[in-house]
Chain A
Amino acid sequence: MSNGIKILFGAVLGVLYAACGLLQVVQAIFGTMESLEALFIPGNIFSGSVLLVIGTVFLTGVRKLSIGTEEGMPFIYVGILFSVGIGLVELLALCALGADAYLVGEWADWSAADAVNPLLYLAVIGVLGLLAWGKEFFRGARAA
């Protein structure tokens, strides 16, 4: 019964990830669109592809759930894990870049905005999902 919420959650996050991923890849290939940079969507084929993969995981889950198979649930869960995990990686990277700028004395020129990207801020939504459903996902581990 809470499936409705999960479908909605997966759909929204999936579409966001996939769209940002697509934009990043397009941006990387066809050059800069100023408006995208303002939205913190830099051109990058690699992270763009990662976004696409995460988006696809969510959307696969949504598709399966909406035709009524419980099979879709793991995709939403794993998508959330994936989103949070990669987000954590990006957060660490951001901190590292900041620390490095400070160490080499370019702190004044450095702005976190340069390093922010969808993998980082979309993960915030992922964290919400983890808080909401993390328990029931991991519980599977014990109650075998």
Chain B
Amino acid sequence: MTREIRIALTGNPNVGKTTLFNALTGSRQHVGNWPGVTVEKKTGKVSRNGCEFEVVDLPGTYSLTAYSADEVIARDFILDEKPDVVVQVVDATNLERNLYLTTQLAELRTPLVIALNMADMAEAQGNPIDYRKLSGFLEIPIVRTVGTRGEGLQDLLDAAVKEAKTSPHHEHTIGYGNEAEEMIAKLTDPLSADRTLSGKYPLRWLAVKLLEGDENVLAKVRGGAASARVQSILSSINSDEYEATMADKRYEAIAAILPQVHRTNTRGTTFSDMVDRVVTNRYLGIPIFLALMWGAFELTFTVATPFMTVIDTLTVWLAEFAVASIEPAWLGSLIGDGIISGVGAVLIFLPNILILFLILALLEDSGYLARAAFIMDRPLYALGLPGKAFIPMLIGFGCNVPAIMATRSIESEKDRLISILVNPFMSCSARLPVYVLFAGAFFGAHAGGVMFFLYVLGIAVAIASAKLFRSTILPGEVSPFVMEMPPYRLPTAMTSLMHMWSRGSMYLRKAGTIILLGAMLVWALASFPYGVEYGSAESFAGMLGHLVEPLVAPLGFDWKVAVALIFGFLAKEVVVGSLGVLYGAGEESLTDALFADPSLSAATALALMVFVLLYMPCVAALGVIKKETGSWKWTGFAVAYGIVVAWVLAFVVGHLAPFFIGGA
């Protein structure tokens, strides 16, 4: 008797769909205060009052004519999977834009419920919505919700159940004016002949979409029974014109309703407006962004030091203890030299990583991220990238994997491909241990500055590469900047800490799996063949290292570094883990051991950091590059290009550095 009801959450970007989804299903999907956070559909379950619900969270979309990859996912789900109820989440502070999507959803004749979200904000702005009246006008049930506080959830589910059981659904039509209506009638006629299509979609909706020149719908019609007649009708009209007039009609219909359900917008200068006037200032925007970035790295590097010292001391002590007291000796060595030194060398950086993720969470939740994209639009545009592409770049500071996924909201295929290819140059958190280790060992008080340089270098290489690709292999026009600026929100400690933890714990999990594996592998290579001195040139690791050494010798790297770089392909932290293993457990920490190694100087350390920054995406990043580009060719290109760029720049930096750092 309890049938499962499938609810799809749809709506414009950044209206709180995922927040509602999390509140409904108890999930912890990623929420952020910028448009384009969700790029995949996510499913969760709830049961309330004996009813089972499957809730699907979708990426945001402005209309049912999809442009970007994430919008396509949202549109296809609603059209083809036919959820029992579509819940449109509407931002109560931005009704006009949101209701535009409503007019399109209503034409689809699917059971529709509106969640009037962010009602708290609208009320606080002195602009509450008379949602009962609005519901009457639209003939769609409306529930007031506040996603962040979980208000209105029960009512929403009740409304969904009721709507799912009501049938038939009458179509709420907007009149598009004589000319367009005539064309719609003309088109519905042949369309009704196509049984498969007319069984699946409302005819009027199909006709309207065709008139707008919707490629996707046209593709559905092509090859069907109606194909020839429809195409001949369409060939005689200019669909851009119809698209514009129909959009006007929709907005007219909305404009007729709005004044009756809320006060006309009399917004003064808000806090957001004031801040924006400064941070998006033409001249000051970028310097302010850089200054904030400097603050972020100061926090990441300096504030973490005492915590690192504690972990460091503990690891060194544990490793020594293991080597000295565990029998047989080889097991002691595996545990002490291998596991504890290797994993410990990486774990030390947990404090840095957590702080970095906290900063990124604040960046996302505050709303500044969208501004950063806006201020970078001007310079990026000149270099061949849309400003929107800056968002995945910044997310890349955390991890390139979600960053590459985030490119889905970029409309143009070429823009998107370029963004994917350059993203690995953004210095992800896995590279941070390498910097902290080497900058700390060789640059002392200037470590912060060196790290800052590396991050900026990553951005510079990414942008320069974009320019290069744009002017050679991927020529084309950059799409203009279209992005809504969300209002600034004070991130709550709770959500930001949760973000930090959910990502930080991934780092821990990585330390326990892939990094542990890498450390054990390197330990085995360093210990065998049987009888060689641990980590000597005669061990397998030594042989492997010496094999590759000639390739990296011009950069000043010796065989130990070469081995570490090879295994760094698994995950960049493994570079540090491997060095931890190869330098073994002594009384001294890895930092001191590296500093004491005569084959390493400040200049080679800098070259090494540059190399690790650029040399190639890790396995996981390569996996998403393949998935998102769908091409092995581009994936291979990303690897080859990265290695070449890294080698050249590391060479240059390694040879120029002595002039700047006093011939160290």
A residues apposed to B, CB below 8 Å? 44-47, 49-50, 53-54, 56-57, 60, 71, 73-75, 77-79, 82, 85-86, 89-90, 92-93, 96-97, 99-100, 103-104, 137-144
Contacts and interface: CB of A to CB of B under 8 A. Distances in A.
B291 interface: yes
A103 B290 CA distance: 32
Nearest to B296: A89
B354 to A, nearest CB: 14
Contact of B267 (A50, A73, A79, A144): A144
B449 interface: yes
Contacts of B305: 96-97, 99-100
Given A44-B449, A96-B302, A104-B309, A86 B270 contact: no
B303 A96 contact: yes
Contacts of B284: 53, 56-57, 60
Interface string B265-301: 0011111111101110100100110110011001100
Nearest to B299: A89
Contacts of A92: 299, 302-303
B317 interface: no
Given A89-B298, A140-B269, 6 more contacts: A49-B291, A53-B288, A74-B278, A137-B274, A140-B273, A142-B124
Nearest to B446: A44
A54 B291 contact: yes
A140 B294 contact: no
B489 to A, nearest CB: 9
Contacts of A138: 271
B468 to A, nearest CB: 28
Given A46-B452, A56-B284, A78 B294 contact: no
B306 A140 contact: no
A135 B514 CA distance: 50
B295 A53 contact: no
B198 interface: no
Nearest to A104: B309
B304 A96 contact: yes
B452 A73 contact: no
Contacts of B449: 44-46
7 contacts: A50-B294, A57-B278, A74-B275, A89-B298, A103-B313, A144-B124, A144-B268
A140 B274 contact: yes
A138 to B, nearest CB: 6
Contacts of B267: 144
A40 to B, nearest CB: 15
Given A78-B274, A78-B275, A86 B291 contact: yes
B359 to A, nearest CB: 10
Contacts, number: 100
Contact of B271 (A85, A96, A97, A137): A137
Contact of B306 (A54, A89, A96): A96
A78 B280 CA distance: 12
A93 B302 contact: yes
A89 B300 CA distance: 10
Contacts of A93: 298-299, 302-303
Interface string B108-129: 0000000000000000111100
* Chain B interface mostly: helix
Interface of B: 124-127, 267-275, 277-279, 281, 284, 287-288, 290-291, 294-295, 298-299, 302-306, 309-310, 313, 448-449, 452, 488
Contacts of A90: 298
Given A49-B291, A53-B288, A78-B274, A144 B302 contact: no
B303 A141 contact: no
A22 B294 CA distance: 17
Nearest to B277: A74
A140 B271 contact: yes
A33 to B, nearest CB: 18
B444 to A, nearest CB: 12
B302 A97 contact: yes
B270 A141 contact: yes
A75 B278 contact: yes
B274 A73 contact: yes
Contacts of B448: 46
Q: Across chains A and B, which 8 residue pairs bring their CB atoms closest together, nearest first?
A: A141-B271, A74-B274, A99-B306, A93-B302, A78-B278, A140-B271, A144-B125, A100-B306
Contacts of A75: 277-278
A44 B452 CA distance: 13
B309 A103 contact: yes
A83 B284 CA distance: 15
B274 A53 contact: no
Contacts of B277: 71, 74-75
Contacts of B291: 49-50, 53-54, 82, 86
Nearest to A138: B271
Nearest to B313: A103
A138 B124 CA distance: 14
B126 A144 contact: yes
A7 B192 CA distance: 71
Contacts of B125: 142, 144
B295 A86 contact: yes
A88 B268 CA distance: 31
Contacts of B309: 100, 103-104
Given A93-B298, A140-B269, A103 B279 contact: no
A63 to B, nearest CB: 12
Contacts of A141: 270-272, 488
Contacts of A78: 274-275, 278-279
A118 B267 CA distance: 39
Given A78-B275, A85-B295, A140-B274, A53 B302 contact: no
Contacts of A104: 309
Given A73-B274, A138-B271, A144-B268, A50 B303 contact: no
A53 B287 contact: yes
Nearest to A74: B274
Nearest to B295: A89
A105 to B, nearest CB: 10
Contacts of A50: 291, 294-295
Nearest to B124: A142
Contacts of A44: 449
User: Which of B269, B275, B278, B281 has the most chain A CB atoms closer than 10 A to its own CB?
Assistant: B278
B439 to A, nearest CB: 13
A99 B291 CA distance: 26
Contacts of A71: 277
A143 B274 CA distance: 13
Contacts of A47: 294
A97 B301 CA distance: 11
Contacts of B126: 143-144
B269 A82 contact: no
